[in-house]
Structure 1
Amino acid sequence: MIITNQELQGKDIGDKTSRKVLVAEDKLMLVEFQFAKGSIGVPHSHSEHEQIGYVVKGSFEITVGSETKIAKQGDSYYAAKNVLHGVVSLEDDSVLIDVFTPIRKDFFTPDEIRTV
């Protein structure tokens, strides 16, 4: 399966942030988040999901557990199950790509997901 980004619509999730589910199957999903400067990915944890993030564009203050760092284009992070994590966008038009396993069923709507 090949999906072009232009086929998909983003979803406004508040605080000047949008989410676009790029692709998913039963155990793995890829999601693009776009942030305006100052937008906050509120600290949270997942009881069943692991998450890997990659900074595509811009910069973020990222906290994972007790560690906080500034992450720029090309940097990445890992948040294990039950580990508190969150981000603050430091620039306009900042973009994160996150991989989740298993999939985040709460992200699914018919117009934003393609599955194999």
Structure 2
Amino acid sequence: MLADYFQKYEDAAVTKVAEGIERRIIHTDHLMLVVVDFYDGPTTSADPFHQHVHEQVSFMAEGEVLLWAGDEEPVHLKAGDMFAMKSDVPHTIQRLTKHVRIIDCFTPLREEFIIIDR
């Protein structure tokens, strides 16, 4: 079925992660793409650090952030920039613009992100 191969942004199921933060996903059996829209910026401080067993690569589609990873100094990223996180590396961002859109890919799947009965 063709619908198994595409997802239009405007038709994608939206998960409200927190006030001003939305997530849309598409995935296969082993790979996941996640579009995260942050409408709550700019923020005055970084979000709490988090980490996960999943490997992650990300593309900055819109906006600007400061990214902290591990013990490294923060890096300023803007639209067009990319970053990668190995498994279990603590990381976080601080949003520097009103709207930030980050496109994340994860392996293995972030099962907790999958919406049942779409």
Whole-angstrom distance in 1 between the partners of 2:50 and 2:16: 19
Do the aligned residues in 2 keep the contact of 1:64 with 1:86 (CA within 8 Å)? yes
Aligned residues: CA RMSD:
1.7
Structure exhibiting the larger radius of gyration computed from Cα positions: 2
Cα pair 1:34 1:96 within 8 Å, conserved? yes
User: Which amino acid in 2 is paired with 1:16?
Assistant: G
Distance 1:110 1:8, change over 3 A: same
Give the structure-2-normalised TM-score: 0.84
Runs of 4+ in 1 over 6 A off after TM superposition: none
Equivalence map 1:5-84=2 (5 Å)? 5-21=9-25, 23-35=26-38, 36-37=40-41, 38=43, 41-47=47-53, 49-67=54-72, 68-84=74-90
Work out the CA distance in 1 between the residues paired with 2:93 and 2:14: 19
Q: Which runs of 5+ in 2 are unaligned?
A: none
Q: How high is the sequence identity, in percent, across the aligned residues? A: 27
- Which secondary structure state, in structure 1, belongs to the residue aligned with residue 49 of structure 2? strand
Structure 2 CA distance, aligned partners of 1:18 and 1:56?
A: 14
Q: What TM-score, normalized to structure 1?
A: 0.86
**2:92 pairs with one of 76, 86, 95:** 86
1:111 Cα shift?
5.7
| Total equivalences in the alignment | 110
